[in-house]
Amino acid sequence: MEKVSEAMRVAKQDLLVKGRTGPISRAKAVLIHLGVDRMGLPVREMAELTRMSGPSASVARWRGRELVSENPNKLFN
């Protein structure tokens, strides 16, 4: 979580509260993608962590995957 907040330039605590501003939403999407696809955590767990609904977290996961693939050097590829 700390690496994502640093790379995406958002406060770590902003990843843990409900909210949908652009930079925070993108950072949450990357965090969910990495948690689910790289660490094997359930989408539901990542949704709870980021204060998102399950369906929203699933959509964010795919956005996060795209963001990481578009910015591999910045976003932990």
Q: What's the pTM value of the predicted model, to 2 decimals? A: 0.90
The CATH class that applies to domain 2-70 reads mainly alpha
Domain residues of the chain, as ranges?
2-70
DSSP string, 40-71: ---HHHHHHHHT--HHHHHHHHHHHHHHHHHS
Phi then psi for residue 29, to 5 deg, are: -60, -45
| For residue 77, pLDDT beyond 60 | no
Distance (Å) of CA 62 to CA 7, 20, 68:
18, 16, 10
According to the model, what pLDDT value does residue 1 have?
A: 86
Q: What is the pLDDT of residues 16-63, one digit of tens each?
A: 998 878 999 999 999 999 999 999 999 999 999 999 999 999 999 999
Going from the C-alpha of 2 to that of each of 6, 28, 59, 72, the distances in angstroms are 6, 12, 22, 17
Residue indicated by tokens 């998102």: 52
